[in-house]
Chains A and B, each alone.
Chain A
Amino acid sequence: MPQPEPRDTAKMPQRVKTAALVSSGRHPVSGRAGRAREDARAVEMGLSLVGADLSLAHAGDPEQASLRESLQGYLGMYHGLDDDRDGQLSLLPLGEGGDAVPLLAAWLERSGVRLALTGQRAECGEGSGMVGYLLAERLGWAIATGVAAIEHCDGERVTVLQALPQGQRRRLEVRLPCLIAVDAVAEAPRQSAFGPARRGRIDIVDDLLPPDESPLDADSADWHWQPARARPKRLKVVKSTNARDRFKAAAAKSSASGGQVLTDLSPEEAAEKLIDYLRAEKILAQDDQ
């Protein structure tokens, strides 16, 4: 069983005020509220960077029944750190159809956060993944997306690894203050434990904006929401005007090519076949001898 590592002071020699912006997640199968997968990874990244100093924020409707449960999921991650402080989350009240960006921006500015971590995309609502960008634009911060790990953070810059397809990584240096959008391939979040979740504090912060300036999200008023349809599978596109070819392509079973079985091979021959196949599929470099 992996022991949770204590806060890594080598990663951050100088304390930088760090926060994670979290949202309410939806389980992909049941749709039940819980931690969002990417946000939970952002919290994990924050906890391993600054320990219990990490503060959390969420803009949402405090009246919503399932919200507290999902937010407690994040607070339940405050364990295995080198101090016994419980988690604390600032809940910024936001009504139906409200715009979270001005609230979050005001909160980030007021709390002096210089490094904000969040997931790339929310799991409920529009899920456009724009909040981070709008915040960065509004605050004039830098933003790095698809971050798999934070390697180092001095007081000025943070060095991150950005996730590329197929497990590849790119190293980026980002100036502070900045927003880090954490990718789903970042280190898996620690278990959310019931005890810390129960003890964690959720503070409602409702004096961020003047009361007349209630942020409203006007754009989305005339959108029509509907249950997601299954996306149609694209048939093999046949660039043929020949009815017979089109029919054949449409009727053909997709990719049921059937494997090639080579028997009676000596190991040498088999090795040759294997290497040839891998080269043809560009998995091995053409000739690396």
Chain B
Amino acid sequence: MLQTLLPILIFAALAVGAAGAVRRIRLWRQGQRTPMRWYRLVLMPKRYLNDLHHVVARDKAIAHTHVATAGGFVAAMALALVVHGFGWRNPILGGLLLAASLCMFIGALAVNRRRIDPSAKLSKGPWQRLSKSLLAYSVGMFLVSLPLVGVAPTLLGGGVLAIVLSAVLVWGLLEMVVGMGWGGPMKHAFAGSFHLAFHRRPERFDDNHADAVHDVHRGSRSTALFPLDLTAKTLGVEKPADFQWEQLLGFDACVQCGRCQNVCPAYAAGQPLNPKKLIQDMVVGMAGGNDARYAGSGYPGIEVGKHHGGPNAPIVPQLVEAQTLWACTTCRACVEECPMMIEHVDAIVDMRRFITLEKGETPEKGAAAIDNLIATDNPGGLDNASRLDWAADLEMPRIQDRPEGVDVLLWLGDGAFDMRNQRTLRALVKILRAGGVDFAVLGDEERDSGDVARRLGDEATFQRLAERNIATLSRYRFARIVTADPHSFHVLGREYGAFGGDYRVLHHSTFIAELFDGGRISVEAPAQAETVTYHDPCYLGRYNGEFAAPRQVLAALGLEVAEMERSGYRSRCCGGGGGAALSDVPGKARIPDMRMEDVRETGATTVAVACPQCTAMLEGVVEPRPRILDIAEMVAAALVEPATASTTRTSTEAPEEVPA
């Protein structure tokens, strides 16, 4: 009986699954169309085996589980199609099918063990069921295939047992094949492979990247936001159908593993953001319906099940509250961790763009910052001519006086208006002078890089600032730009390219490391041993892959770095990125306080930072707390003046600031 039933079952499941898949593809193609390049599907296996598993393998246990389960399933399915579907009942193939089912069964057991007491990051509901379905499929396929190798052929010939067995197999096929097309948990395999093939950022899979740093850290291969066409009919994303179709496809690939939820600083702080739920909400919006069937952790403080959406219904506030979008610090921790390589930050900024550009509902302080950027070129609304006031005694060389060009253009950033950051800048100038660097500044011709405006969704203001800065920079000659602000570093180096500004930009930590390497500056050993730790800024580390240089500098200072549990590409955000400090979404804790807890756990008395925003956020933590020093300040303090002291100025000594 099973001999006749099996092909019917398999082909029926495949047919129904395929119908669902077509429907699913239609759902994705509701998004903004780009031409469908089917040939890209051939890229999928390499991307899956290489790039995706690179991320998955960060958790060895789940990686092995997935290899066993997924590999076993794919093999078992293919063999079952040949053996049972087309009836080529070869004992060798049968043996292989049995082995594949067994392999899948072992994997499924591991999955089930993980699901006995699932951690908070995992979604339940259908995903709990999937673990059982995996068992059903593998067991069913195993038993059904036993007769092929001549074991227990009579036992399964007919009767009640056969009916039970076919029921188990039907369950497995329904989940694994039909569910894949119709939106069950197995959808991730189908959508995921398409997503890998049609990913919006192919650079992420490009192993022949020009930049060595970005090859070491794959997450930073493509981190620039996509420019927005300001002449488009609607600006930004109002409804799910406004996303690019590849983005919708990406949302659909989510496996709800909750890694993003685990690393999201806003979620940890109790702000109403959960990247996993956000992606699931996008899926709800794409397919239509409400979020009542979502079986994972929701947004802190927002009840699950009260929101609904449709492909052409506005996202905010029916589907997602604006607060959720404004809580994001754009730290990219979720993108870094996502095994399906989903781009959460792109989606959030796309939706912010609509809120800011079309609805004019940027949170109050963010709106004020944007207005200031429009009127004064800096977010504080200060006179741009006062950008160099802090350096009145430093006799800063101006690039305007150097028509022949300089080696280094020192980009000050908006930290030049902040008293705390001026200390860092002074220290940096002292280092540059000690190293005999040929540098100059733009002075009042420098404008905000546009980072804040862009992350707040005001692409119009960003593009205006970018164009003006590029026009300014094109008038002067310099070999490279050095900046102490990772945000400017990222925007100048990686986002201006789309507007015709290609520069060689270095973060000051990289540049100082270079000075050490070249033996151009020397420092004295620290008077007493001190434990320091280093906080990786998101825009330096995750965005641009620079983890080594700051640590090199600290090592050159003779300091022992006690790493925080979350450091390097897993560094936790300070809470100041992406305009989050301006939108100031209330939560249960403050992100910088949590980060300071991480620092305290290392027992460090000083935390080295490399970003003005991180400095400001961490210094906002109520004392007593470890000291916060920029890398430049630490180097400047330990600097040994070279023997030719006549060329250095004593006036570059940073004077004592009045303590805040």
- A and B from one assembly? yes
> Which A residues form the contact surface with B (CB < 8 A)?
1-4, 27, 29-30, 32, 34, 76-77, 79-80, 190-196, 198
**Docked pose: A29 CA to B322 CA in angstroms:** 32
Query: Smallest Cβ distance from A250 to chain B, in angstroms?
Result: 29
**Docked pose: A3 CA to B377 CA in angstroms:** 27
Assess the A32–B376 pair: CB atoms within 8 A: yes
Leading 10 A-B pairs by shortest Cβ distance? A193-B360, A191-B360, A195-B358, A27-B375, A194-B460, A191-B367, A194-B357, A30-B376, A1-B363, A79-B360
Q: Smallest CB-CB separation from B460: which chain A residue?
A: A194
Assess the B375–A29 pair: CB atoms within 8 A: yes
- Residue of A1, A79, A196 with highest tally of chain B CB at under 10 A: A1
**Docked pose: A1 CA to B582 CA in angstroms:** 11
**Docked pose: A196 CA to B355 CA in angstroms:** 12
Please give, as numbers and ranges, the residues of chain B lying within 8 Å of A32 by CB-CB distance.
374-376
Q: Per-residue CB proximity of B372-415 to A under 8 Å, as 1/0?
A: 00111100011110000000000000000000000000000000
Assess the A29–B376 pair: CB atoms within 8 A: yes
Assess the B384–A194 pair: CB atoms within 8 A: no
The verdict on B112 contacting chain A, using a C-beta distance below 8 Å, is: no
Please give, as numbers and ranges, the residues of chain B lying within 8 Å of A193 by CB-CB distance.
356-360
Assess the A30–B375 pair: CB atoms within 8 A: yes
**Docked pose: A79 CA to B381 CA in angstroms:** 25
Query: Smallest Cβ distance from B332 to chain A, in angstroms?
Result: 24
Assess the A191–B361 pair: CB atoms within 8 A: yes
Query: Smallest Cβ distance from B375 to chain A, in angstroms?
Result: 4
**Docked pose: A193 CA to B322 CA in angstroms:** 16
The verdict on B458 contacting chain A, using a C-beta distance below 8 Å, is: yes
Query: Smallest Cβ distance from A129 to chain B, in angstroms?
Result: 22
Query: Smallest Cβ distance from B319 to chain A, in angstroms?
Result: 16
**Docked pose: A3 CA to B375 CA in angstroms:** 25
- Residue of B356, B361, B458, B461 with highest tally of chain A CB at under 10 A: B361
Query: Smallest Cβ distance from A6 to chain B, in angstroms?
Result: 13
Assess the B382–A80 pair: CB atoms within 8 A: no
Q: Smallest CB-CB separation from B354: which chain A residue?
A: A195
Please give 15 more A-B residue pairs, beta carbons under 8 A apart, in addition to A1-B361, A27-B376, A191-B361: A1-B322, A1-B323, A1-B364, A4-B361, A29-B375, A29-B382, A34-B371, A76-B360, A79-B359, A191-B371, A193-B357, A193-B360, A194-B235, A195-B234, A195-B357
**Docked pose: A282 CA to B360 CA in angstroms:** 44
Query: Smallest Cβ distance from A123 to chain B, in angstroms?
Result: 12
Assess the B235–A3 pair: CB atoms within 8 A: no
Q: Of residues 312 to 326 in B, which have CB atoms within 8 Å of A's CB atoms?
A: 322-323, 326
Indicate whether A192 sits within 8 Å of B323 (C-beta atoms), given known contacts A27-B376, A29-B383, A34-B374: no
Please give, as numbers and ranges, the residues of chain A lying within 8 Å of B123 by CB-CB distance.
none
Q: Of residues 460 to 493 in B, which have CB atoms within 8 Å of A's CB atoms?
A: 460-461
**Docked pose: A29 CA to B372 CA in angstroms:** 10
Please give, as numbers and ranges, the residues of chain A lying within 8 Å of B322 by CB-CB distance.
1
Assess the B230–A194 pair: CB atoms within 8 A: yes
Q: Per-residue CB proximity of B312-356 to A under 8 Å, as 1/0?
A: 000000000011001000000000000000000000000000001
Assess the A191–B362 pair: CB atoms within 8 A: yes
Please give, as numbers and ranges, the residues of chain B lying within 8 Å of A34 by CB-CB distance.
371, 374-375
Partner of B361, one of A3, A30, A76, A194: A3
Query: Smallest Cβ distance from B388 to chain A, in angstroms?
Result: 16
Indicate whether A194 sits within 8 Å of B458 (C-beta atoms), given known contacts A29-B383, A30-B384, A34-B375: yes
* Contact residues on B (Cβ < 8 Å of other chain), bracket: 20 to 34
**Docked pose: A27 CA to B381 CA in angstroms:** 9
Q: Smallest CB-CB separation from A2: which chain B residue?
A: B364
Query: Smallest Cβ distance from B231 to chain A, in angstroms?
Result: 8
Assess the A196–B376 pair: CB atoms within 8 A: no
Indicate whether A195 sits within 8 Å of B235 (C-beta atoms), given known contacts A27-B376, A34-B375: yes
Assess the B357–A1 pair: CB atoms within 8 A: no
Please give, as numbers and ranges, the residues of chain A lying within 8 Å of B361 by CB-CB distance.
1, 3-4, 80, 191
13 A–B contact pairs at CB < 8 A? A1-B326, A1-B583, A27-B376, A29-B376, A29-B381, A30-B375, A30-B377, A191-B356, A193-B360, A194-B356, A194-B460, A195-B358, A196-B360
Please give, as numbers and ranges, the residues of chain A lying within 8 Å of B460 by CB-CB distance.
194
Assess the A79–B367 pair: CB atoms within 8 A: no
Query: Smallest Cβ distance from A55 to chain B, in angstroms?
Result: 19
**Docked pose: A32 CA to B323 CA in angstroms:** 32
Please give, as numbers and ranges, the residues of chain A lying within 8 Å of B382 by CB-CB distance.
29
**Docked pose: A200 CA to B323 CA in angstroms:** 28
**Docked pose: A29 CA to B381 CA in angstroms:** 7
Please give, as numbers and ranges, the residues of chain A lying within 8 Å of B235 by CB-CB distance.
194-195
Q: Smallest CB-CB separation from B376: which chain A residue?
A: A30
Please give, as numbers and ranges, the residues of chain B lying within 8 Å of A1 by CB-CB distance.
322-323, 326, 361, 363-364, 583
Q: Per-residue CB proximity of B549-573 to A under 8 Å, as 1/0?
A: 0000000000000000000000000
Q: Per-residue CB proximity of B622-647 to A under 8 Å, as 1/0?
A: 00000000000000000000000000
**Docked pose: A198 CA to B358 CA in angstroms:** 10
Q: Smallest CB-CB separation from A79: which chain B residue?
A: B360
Partner of B360, one of A29, A30, A77: A77
**Docked pose: A1 CA to B326 CA in angstroms:** 10
Q: Per-residue CB proximity of B246-262 to A under 8 Å, as 1/0?
A: 00000000000000000
Please give, as numbers and ranges, the residues of chain A lying within 8 Å of B377 by CB-CB distance.
30
Please give, as numbers and ranges, the residues of chain A lying within 8 Å of B360 by CB-CB distance.
4, 76-77, 79-80, 190-193, 196
Query: Smallest Cβ distance from A92 to chain B, in angstroms?
Result: 26
Please give, as numbers and ranges, the residues of chain A lying within 8 Å of B376 by CB-CB distance.
27, 29-30, 32
**Docked pose: A79 CA to B458 CA in angstroms:** 16
**Docked pose: A76 CA to B460 CA in angstroms:** 13
Query: Smallest Cβ distance from B394 to chain A, in angstroms?
Result: 24
**Docked pose: A80 CA to B323 CA in angstroms:** 17
Indicate whether A80 sits within 8 Å of B375 (C-beta atoms), given known contacts A1-B322, A29-B383, A194-B460: no
Please give, as numbers and ranges, the residues of chain A lying within 8 Å of B375 by CB-CB distance.
27, 29-30, 32, 34
Please give, as numbers and ranges, the residues of chain B lying within 8 Å of A196 by CB-CB distance.
358, 360
Please give, as numbers and ranges, the residues of chain B lying within 8 Å of A30 by CB-CB distance.
375-377, 383-384
Please give, as numbers and ranges, the residues of chain B lying within 8 Å of A4 by CB-CB distance.
360-361
**Docked pose: A196 CA to B234 CA in angstroms:** 10
**Docked pose: A34 CA to B377 CA in angstroms:** 13
**Docked pose: A194 CA to B367 CA in angstroms:** 12
Please give, as numbers and ranges, the residues of chain B lying within 8 Å of A79 by CB-CB distance.
358-360
Please give, as numbers and ranges, the residues of chain B lying within 8 Å of A27 by CB-CB distance.
375-376
- Residue of A76, A77, A80, A195 with highest tally of chain B CB at under 10 A: A195
